[in-house]
DNA sequence: ACCCGATCGATGACATGTCAACGAAACGGC
DNA sequence: GCCGTTTCGTTGACATGTCATCGATCGGGT
């Protein structure tokens, strides 16, 4: 590679802003969730994805893929959530290797009461600060990047080699 | 609070896109850094911030604040980086409590050889996928959010109480 | 039916991040 | 100067994430 093309002033501003926003937003949303609902962001995401399915049940593998988590991470995390009574595991009917993650009533309750406050915080600290055009632009740009990156294997897998 | 104002379709698209982009970009950049330079993103950020100062030296507290890290996290991380010879600690002349983090030659070397590849990856997977208008918008919007959130205490401190 | 490679999920060792507590030093009112 | 408060950085216990590995099962080719 020749001389590296550094970021110009505008690019640098966008990149730094992005990273700083990321961090601050994370801290604030995590703080809000813990305080108001006793959930971590990870907990919230698991419950949220589960509750978006009609039955509140998903194969572990399916859930991991949707969340872009490793199966290992999800397995560990579910063990902890299970101990708190938010989810349970069931054996999978059509695949004896698999297990199904199931939302418990307590889990439904938890996500139900956490969601309004969380969404309000997302609005207060992000969405409501943006113009409609910016929201549109953010949607477009992030999805473009996701499509660009998403083509690759969903997980840290060794690429097929060049 | 009354009925929660959920996100409408466009807002939801932006929010989900943001979170997915975040995750994918992280995975890819971390992969690239580890593979090509043997550094984690955390390592890179520490070295990067240090190398942006004229002397390659910063008070621990100052560095932690810039990075939005807790002092504890930074202290732990520096211990590990120190063992790898990337940084050292020196006593602080004007404040006997303090310590100064100093970039070693090896640290300079590391960031120097990692930077081109890292910037190239940032371009390839983000910046170069955006139009100039989008870069401008991203810069504006992120900085607005940062200003909004940044007013609060830089760290998980108990708020002065209402 | 049988193999062989791939997939599923769990697990343990280890890396990293958080949180509360600490001792030392600095600051500020008196 | 002295005392109480705050700040600085470190530390240890613990929570969380990663990575390599495992046993079980699945599935396709023959």
* d(CA B55, nearest CA chain A) in Å: 22
Q: What angle do CA A141, A143, A145 make, to 5 degrees?
A: 70
**Phi, psi at residue A79, to the nearest 5°?**
-55, -45
Q: A21-73 pLDDT, tens per residue? A: 999 999 999 999 999 999 999 999 999 999 999 999 999 999 999 999 999 99
D16 nearest neighbour residue (CA to C1'): A77
Q: Which one-letter DSSP state was computed for residue A160? A: -
Element housing B36 (H / E): helix B9-37
Helix (H, G, I), strand (E, B) or coil at A54: coil
Helix (H, G, I), strand (E, B) or coil at B56: coil
First to last CA, chain A: 18
A130's torsion region: left (phi>0), alpha (psi -120 to 50) or beta?
beta
* d(CA A96, nearest CA chain B) in Å: 31
Q: Walk along chain B (162 residues) and give the pLDDT tens digit of each residue.
A: 577 899 999 999 999 999 999 999 999 999 999 999 999 999 999 999 999 999 999 999 999 999 999 999 999 999 999 999 999 999 999 999 999 999 999 999 999 999 999 999 999 999 999 999 999 999 999 999 999 998 554 444 333 332
- As a rounded value in angstroms, the CA-to-C1' distance for A22 and C21 is 30
DSSP alpha helix (H) spans, A40-86: 41-51, 60-67, 71-83
Give yes or no for A106 touching B (CB within 8 A): no
Residues of A in contact with B28 (CB under 8 A): 149, 152
A41 with A35: CB under 8 angstroms?
no
Q: Alpha-carbon dihedral of residues B2, B17, B142, A156, nearest 10 degrees? A: 130
B7:A122 CB<8 A:
yes
CA B121 – CA B25 distance, rounded (Å): 10
A25's torsion region: left (phi>0), alpha (psi -120 to 50) or beta?
alpha
D strand bases under 7 Å from protein CB: 7-12, 16-21, 23-27
Which pLDDT value is given to residue A28? 97
Classify strands A57-59 and A99-103 as parallel, antiparallel or unpaired.
antiparallel
Strands (E), chain A: 57-59, 87-91, 99-103
Which pLDDT value is given to residue A3? 78
Which pLDDT value is given to residue B160? 35
CA B101 – CA B78 distance, rounded (Å): 8
Q: Write out the two tokens for B103.
A: 């970039």
Residues of B in contact with A51 (CB under 8 A): none
DSSP string, B112-156: HHHHHHHHHHHHHHTGGGS-HHHHHHHHHHHHHHHHHHHTS-SSS
Residue of A nearest to B23 (CA): A68
CB atoms within 10 A of CB A80: 13
């Amino acid at each position: 590679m020749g001389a590296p093309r550094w970021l110009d002033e505008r690019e640098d501003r966008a990149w730094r802003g992005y990273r700083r926003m990321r961090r601050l937003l994370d801290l604030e949303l995590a703080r809000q969730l813990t305080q108001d609902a006793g959930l971590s962001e990870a907990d919230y995401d698991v419950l949220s994805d589960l509750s978006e399915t009609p039955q509140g049940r998903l194969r572990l593998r399916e859930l991991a893929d949707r969340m872009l988590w490793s199966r290992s991470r999800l397995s560990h995390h579910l063990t902890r959530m299970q101990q708190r009574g938010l989810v349970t595991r069931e054996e999978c009917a059509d695949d004896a290797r698999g297990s199904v993650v199931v939302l418990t009533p307590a889990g439904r309750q938890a996500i139900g009461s956490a969601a309004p406050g969380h969404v309000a915080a997302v609005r207060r600290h992000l969405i409501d600060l943006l113009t409609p055009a910016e929201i549109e632009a953010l949607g477009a740009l992030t999805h473009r990047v996701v499509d660009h990156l998403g083509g690759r294997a969903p997980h840290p897998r060794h690429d097929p080699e060049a």
